[in-house]
Amino acid sequence: MRAGGQVMVDQNKNPLITLAAILQKSWESDDQLFAALFDLLLTAVPFECATLFLKDPDTGKLEHKYQVGDTVVDLIREVSFGNGPGLSGWVANQKEPVILTSLKKSRPGQSNLFNSFVSLPLWSGNRLLGVMNLGHSLEGVYQEDDIAGYSLIADQFSVAAEQLFLRKKIHIRNQELQESLEKLKAAQAQLVESERMVAIGEITVTVNHEINNPLTAIIGHAELLQMRLEKLAPDDVEVRNYLETILNQAHRIESITHRLKEIESSMSGDYCDSVRMIRLSE
């Protein structure tokens, strides 16, 4: 503690110590990750409320992603800057933390939910990732003398933000790859089905040609024998039954050959053991 209740950034408790362990852990949600990061930050820097803004890669604007406490930590929200509204939009263009030791002096006559304020821009090289704001009800909690410590903290949170962006990018890429894989599987299955249907069509033409010709002869001769039987031996029931059986089975074969022409898919069903056969329409 400094004189007058001012608090220094504790360099011995910098988030760098356990940040790597937090980032390596698998979190169920972004909020759980942010909660762990801000819990860690609280061991190094005092704050009563905090807000994290991250830059949306699509719109280029800062978006509110997480906050500690009931208050969004930002100033002049009614003013909009290039990266978004409020002081955060302006700080986003800066490369160094912005520290306001006393908001009573900075904003006389205005009621403030917090009286000390620090805003940390989060950068990765020349790419803006976001802005993190901290607020405290006491004056003098954040000091210009601690700017090096705040810059170090901003660097470490930039690592966390960068990893979060990479995770989201990987997640989106994995989803795209999964969708592409499913489409590829569907296309492959359709191709296999088309090839099978071509093969089945060729077999059907061959079977119909090779079976229908002798089958027509069998049916024709069986019907002639029936007519002869009516004249020569009308009372021979046994022969009549044999001829009816021959005709019934021949017509069944004829029906099967017609159904083969109407096959629309190569769906098969169990026949016996591991043998399967194509399902024909009724």
Residue 156 belongs to domain with CATH number: 3.30.450.40
Say whether both 151 and 270 belong to one domain: no
Range of the domain at 112: 3-177
pLDDT, tens digit, for every residue of 28-83? 788 888 888 888 888 888 999 999 998 888 888 888 889 998 888 887 664 455 56
Secondary structure in 3-state letters for the chain: CCHHHCCCCCHHHCCHHHHHHHHHCCCCCHHHHHHHHHHHHHCCCCCCEEEEEEECCCCCCEEEEEEECCCCCCCCCCCEECCEEHHHHHHCCCCCCEEECCHHHHCCCCCCCCCEEEEEEEEECCEEEEEEEEEECCCCCCCHHHHHHHHHHHHHHHHHHHHHHHHHHHHHHHHHHHHHHHHHHHHHHHHHHHHHHHHHHHHHHHHHHHHHHHHHHHHHHHHHHHHHHHHHCCCCHHHHHHHHHHHHHHHHHHHHHHHHHCCCCCCEEEEECCEEEECCCC
Mean pLDDT of the residues in the chain: 79
> At residue 84, does pLDDT exceed 70?
no
pLDDT, tens digit, for every residue of 107-125? 544 456 788 899 999 988 8
- In the chain, what percentage of residues exceed pLDDT 70? 80
Q: What is the pLDDT of residue 274?
A: 59
Q: What is the pLDDT of residue 96?
A: 82
Q: What is the pLDDT of residue 149?
A: 85
Looking at 151, 177, 203, the residue that finishes a domain is: 177
Say whether both 18 and 158 belong to one domain: yes
Rounded CA-CA distance 115/99 in Å is: 11
Rounded CA-CA distance 20/24 in Å is: 6
Say whether both 73 and 162 belong to one domain: yes
Q: What is the pLDDT of residue 5?
A: 38
- Segment 157-185 shows an average pLDDT of 89
What's the pTM?
0.59
Say whether both 79 and 107 belong to one domain: yes
Rounded CA-CA distance 149/252 in Å is: 91
Q: Count of domains in the chain? A: 2
Q: What is the pLDDT of residue 85?
A: 59
Predicted confidence band of residue 186 (pLDDT cuts 50, 70, 90): very high
Residue whose token pair is 């009573």:
104
Residue with more model confidence, 112 or 87 = 87
Predicted confidence band of residue 6 (pLDDT cuts 50, 70, 90): very low
- Segment 142-147 shows an average pLDDT of 88
Contact partners, residue 266, CB within 8 Å, separation at least 6: 193, 196, 197, 200, 278
